[in-house]
Chain A
């Protein structure tokens, strides 16, 4: 059967509408800005490279959380489970003679991805608050397991004796964080290329469809569960890589990498930046971590209050986060012209 085709004569509207759609995934100059800034920071703030590397690794973590929260609409309070598993995997390997950083990342991705797949098989069958509680439960259980398995994790003392080899056998990690910074930047860049490809793919668009209206997605024949499972697994693997990055660059893994607290914090960070925008993590994570660094110096006792105030202001006056605010301002400027 066929649906009758329209007459061949088409207005200019057809061409432009289709072209707009077809061009959407092309790289815009603004998208290079984070990388220009990141490279600039290396030269302008050479004393902050250790913090910088942590910001970059956490941005990757935020990017992974945005894939599930912002694009697929899965509200999770347990994303640190995968971040932490990645950190422990890389840490454990480095403490047992496998110190090659890239091997650590790959192993972390595999372990965390597997954890995402297995937990996703169960929890993604639920929705709403049940789903939220289950993500939280997974995280709490893993943290408790890590607390008990002292022979592997070091328990509350943290993982001891990591020895991370030079990156690619050549770039030794230094005290100033030079190598850590470039290494984290390179990994984040690869993660971004991958996430961007995913988001603009047909798969990525169907995730947006699931977030916008899951009822309709079922009705157009989308295998919703398997789509969600795939993105959850990918996001878990990416979070695992971020955790491994932190472990390798700080040479430290403690129980807090598996905490619900961290799961919440990463959500706060991407909400600050703006969820479902790919760049929310690139804005929110640095903003949060720099604010934390500054506030805690200026006001060591009440610094968390200032972070809270910042968040209250953002969610009250800029629902789409900082990026949403910028969007709205740009639209107003264009409108008033």
Chain B
């Protein structure tokens, strides 16, 4: 059953003391999905990404990638299963060039990153592939610049390029447009729209324009639990979602 999903969580729970950041989340991401996870600040969206990717250990519940139970797998093992993620706040190798940032990921996926003897510069296949990704994302002209010298919007693209270097089958984008000047959000949306159709995408986002343009399915997370899931039109019309976003929710 769980094999039907690219990514699935069953009864996923995580609490820090009395704070439940995930309470019994049953979630399925279809193969090739364009799925958005939305919710107010502190709803537990990023915690969910951390749980799924293995950066956080769940208190209980199970996680499956393409039907394989990865609940007790390391982050590295999950990446090998086809999972990749980006970060809400850039996690890049700031002192290294853009090309090298992506090459590190590609080399890791190709299984050559542990080689002690052969120069990294002789890994033509890895470098070419990384460069091709930069071309695809329109940042090839910055290939040799250190990441820290790039404008923030372009760093967000590097963030995505590094994840794509892993050739993921499941890609978690944690607020891809966060911190990007509004004029440049379009570039990010274009890039995401052009991603290969067979990658299952889960987009965590605040920017509703981006969510409604990209997502074909939306899950709303509130206080660590799923409030509702459905098609964008259903979500837009749902009074409970409006309540949450307009802050009218009363703690009765």
User: Contact residues of A with B, CB < 8 Å?
Assistant: 1-6, 10-11, 13-14, 17-18, 20-26, 197-198, 200-206, 208-209, 212-213, 215-224, 227, 230
Contact = CB atoms under 8 A, between A and B. Distances in A.
Max chain B CB contacts within 10 Å: which of A206, A220, A221? A220
A280 to B, nearest CB: 16
6 contacts: A2-B196, A21-B100, A21-B121, A22-B124, A197-B117, A206-B107
A200 B119 CA distance: 5
Interface in B59-109: 74-76, 78-80, 84-85, 87, 91-97, 99-100, 103-105, 107-109
A42 B97 CA distance: 41
A221 B143 CA distance: 23
A182 B247 CA distance: 77
Interface in B108-139: 108-109, 112-124, 126-128, 131-133, 135-136
Given A13-B141, A202-B120, A212-B95, A221 B131 contact: no
B162 to A, nearest CB: 7
A221 B104 contact: no
B21 to A, nearest CB: 18
- Majority secondary structure of chain A interface residues (helix, strand, loop or mixed): helix
Given A220-B79, A221-B108, 16 more contacts: A3-B164, A4-B136, A21-B100, A24-B121, A25-B119, A197-B117, A201-B115, A202-B114, A202-B115, A202-B120, A212-B93, A212-B95, A216-B92, A219-B87, A220-B105, A221-B109
Contacts of B44: none
Interface stretch (B10-18, B165-173, B212-220): B165-173
B112 A202 contact: yes
B143 to A, nearest CB: 4
A202 B118 contact: yes
B227 interface: no
B144 interface: yes
Contact of B132 (A6, A23, A26, A219): A6
Max chain B CB contacts within 10 Å: which of A219, A222, A223? A219
B144 A17 contact: yes
A230 to B, nearest CB: 8
Given A20-B144, A218-B55, A219-B91, A201 B135 contact: no
A201 B117 CA distance: 6
A6 B121 CA distance: 22
